[in-house]
Amino acid sequence: MLIQVNNENFKAETSSGVTLVDFYADWCGPCKMIAPILEEIANDRNDFNILKLNVDENREISMQYGVSSIPTLLVLKDGVEVGRHIGFAPKPALIQIVEKHL
């Protein structure tokens, strides 16, 4: 299951374990392309969390992580950034990005 996060609950949702965060915007074409892939991964896997953060509505977190292009996918481990991917990627690549940090 994908979890929608915002400035208020971001830290709590990313504080433990491995988390993939999708920084996106509703108007972004590549973001729309990657969304169903992330949903599929979230339904298939339970060894890491997948969060979505709308950059237009949550500029504070976006600026904190230096997100200037979307989609940006961050891998956080216990709240610390351990990986980053910018742009669209197919399902196997997305899984590989996260599995390196499990």
Which of 2, 28, 86, 89 is labelled catalytic?
A: 28
Is residue 55 over pLDDT 80?
A: yes
**Average pLDDT of the chain, as a whole number:** 96
Judge whether 93 counts as a catalytic residue.
no
Q: Domain tally for the chain?
A: 1
The amino acid at residue 79 is G
**DSSP conformational letter for 24:** E
Q: Quote the pLDDT of residue 1.
A: 73
Which is the catalytic residue, given 5, 20, 31, 42? Answer: 31
Decide which of 2 and 81 is more confident: 81
- What is the rounded distance in angstroms from the CA atom of residue 58 to the CA atom of residue 46? 26
Here the CATH number for the domain that contains residue 50 is: 3.40.30.10
Note down the domain range covering 92.
2-99
Q: pLDDT tens-digit profile of 3-41?
A: 999 999 999 999 999 999 999 999 999 999 999 999 999
31 is catalytic: yes
Q: Averaged over 58-76, what is the pLDDT?
A: 97
Name the pLDDT band for 90 (thresholds 50, 70, 90). Answer: very high
CA 102/CA 33 separation, integer angstroms: 25
Spatial neighbors of 72 by CB under 8 A, at least 6 apart, are: 22, 23, 65, 84, 85, 86
